[in-house]
A and B are shown apart, each in its own frame.
Chain A
């Protein structure tokens, strides 16, 4: 892959959206979105299907034109510019390889279009194919390749002339799990070595958390939260983000008062809850003066800031690295608990067994509802 700097002078962020709105008939797919992607960043738009994340990507690519707002690439206003005049390339979800062309012709297409001489074209196509570890497949037709190989061809095709921004639309969606995880690493690596700005769209939180420098969580055409993966995971800005990124126990209303001790909405990650012996839990004395027990609260707070509650296990799912417990609390709420499969469990950790749950008070963090 060529690494020399491009001739264009950069005066702004790689991608900037300003109050961008897109309507399809009466449906508003994108609603006044502001977004900034920095140069060299691996940025992910994460959201459920129908959230408008793909539309956002297509707006950046130029396949759709916004109903309102402004789109900038490297500081240039490209609102209204057709896709072929934008310095971005797309890796499509279904790859969209040209079936009648060989792998080599596919990869070299952007160069052919620009009128690059044949010798250079071929050299650079092969370079790109080497980068995705597909040298030797140059003469094949897309139909003769596996899904993973097609995916790599699509990548090589989009990277061959080093666009300023690479747009990836659910690029790993069609691959099986093992391949997907392998490709996640590879994509991240590719982004790091090429230094090209990646803008990825996915509905898979694992993918987003694994690869991204920053994530924007999209819902109903708006961005709910933007930030690095750790921040989005650890401090979700909204209940939706908390629920969508990772698994969470969301406590609101009476449950919040009884379990957390305060009214509001709170999120506790399942892996933050420890399973303890129920006897041990009930034997614990409430700490004097700290976190006064309200009348309704069924949980207790110990002196070291841990809250404890007892419940009955209703379901146990063994999920490889961890086990998922569903615990029914005495007054009817359920909590999900993840436990790494490392050491032995309390004896009562069996279906229908009484169990104690304990967590650090700070792990139950409030989320705006």
Chain B
């Protein structure tokens, strides 16, 4: 128990904490509450004006219309696929950065990984649109092997989202690997383990919470994305697109639809929390 704060420091602390707390309450929880509330309203189908009549039609429609289930499942699978791809890419990359590359290469490598975050989201997505197009470099690079580029569609969405969110996965994994004492690896080798065995028994258990922490980002960001899909998704539509198109016409329905990713993310966070990943955030 720390020493009791003096009245003056308490006042200061209150003054210091009040604005962010207020902001959190107002901007975040407040908007979430209104969003959820408006899902129980309805709209005038002609003028798109919100009609404040309490009903559960939106949720009823959401749960009974097969197309929404299809879209929700597709969105979920894409988010999972992006997370898996990012984890598979981030592990060797972060390992190289934290363990293989020399100390003076670490910073440049870290900067290189972070640089894409500084470029505009749309710029990157459109760059991928050009690369993945009919005459893009991806197709050209695969042509000699008798393969076609993925074109626009779900594969392209997974590729681009995985690219966009990769830094969010690499960073926690890199941090975990950097914290892993060199002695652990030496001890494992010393006791007769080869590289693969050491990776499996010593490195992965340490990295697992970090991967889960990174997956919170890749999963939730993928779940909410709708711009990348519009740019490289071809005719694919995800929850985000349906919400975006409904927002202009039927705000309450859009709100009800928004509840789906919110619920999915809450479930995911709960699952991940059990695995202890939130400790490394």
**B is a partner of A:** yes
A113 on the B face (CB < 8 A): yes
CB pair A113 B192 closer than 8 Å: yes
Q: Does B189 contact A (CB under 8 A)?
A: yes
Q: Which residues of A sit under 8 angstroms from B181, Cβ to Cβ?
A: 94, 96
Instruction: Indicate if the CB atoms of A84 and B206 lie closer than 8 Å.
Output: no
Instruction: For A61, list chain B residues within 8 Å (CB).
Output: 186, 190
User: How many of chain A's residues touch chain B, expressed as a range?
Assistant: 20 to 34
Given A98-B202, A100-B205 in contact, is the A113-B186 Cβ separation under 8 Å?
no
Chain A residues with Cβ below 8 Å from B192 are: 84, 110, 113-114, 161
Main secondary structure of the interface of B (DSSP, over half): helix
Q: Are A110 and B189 in contact (CB under 8 A)?
A: no
Taken residue by residue from 83 to 118, chain A's Cβ proximity to chain B (1 for < 8 Å, 0 otherwise) reads as 110001110101011111100000001101110000
* Contact A90–B187 (Cβ < 8 Å): yes
Q: Which of A62, A82, A110 contacts B191 (CB 8 A)?
A: A110
A63, A109, A112, A157: residue with the most chain B Cβ atoms closer than 10 Å = A109
Nearest B-chain residue to A112, judged by Cβ: B201
Tell me, in angstroms, the Cα distance from A98 to B134 when the chains sit together.
51
Is B193 within 8 A of A98, CB to CB? no
Per-position contact with B for A65-88: 1 when CB-CB < 8 Å, else 0? Answer: 000000000000000001110001
Report the minimum CB–CB distance from B104 to chain A (whole Å): 12
Q: A158 to chain B: which residues have CB within 8 Å?
A: 190-191
Whether B189 and A96, one on each chain, are in contact in the complex, defined by CB atoms closer than 8 angstroms, is: no
Q: Are B186 and A90 in contact (CB under 8 A)?
A: yes
- Give chain B nearest CB distance to A171 CB in angstroms: 13
| B197 close to chain A: CB less than 8 A | yes
Neighbour of B190 across the interface among A89, A97, A101, CB < 8 A: A89
A112: chain B residues at CB < 8 Å are: 201
Interface residues of A in 193-237 (CB under 8 A from B): none
Does B2 lie at the interface of the complex (its beta carbon under 8 Å from any beta carbon of A)?
Answer: no
Using a CB–CB cutoff of 8 Å, the interface residues on chain A facing chain B are 61-63, 82-84, 88-90, 92, 94, 96-101, 109-110, 112-114, 157-158, 161
Q: What are 24 A-B contacts defined by CB distance under 8 Å?
A: A61-B190, A83-B190, A84-B189, A84-B191, A84-B192, A89-B190, A92-B183, A92-B187, A94-B181, A96-B183, A96-B186, A98-B187, A98-B201, A98-B202, A98-B205, A99-B206, A100-B205, A100-B206, A101-B201, A109-B193, A113-B193, A114-B192, A158-B191, A161-B192
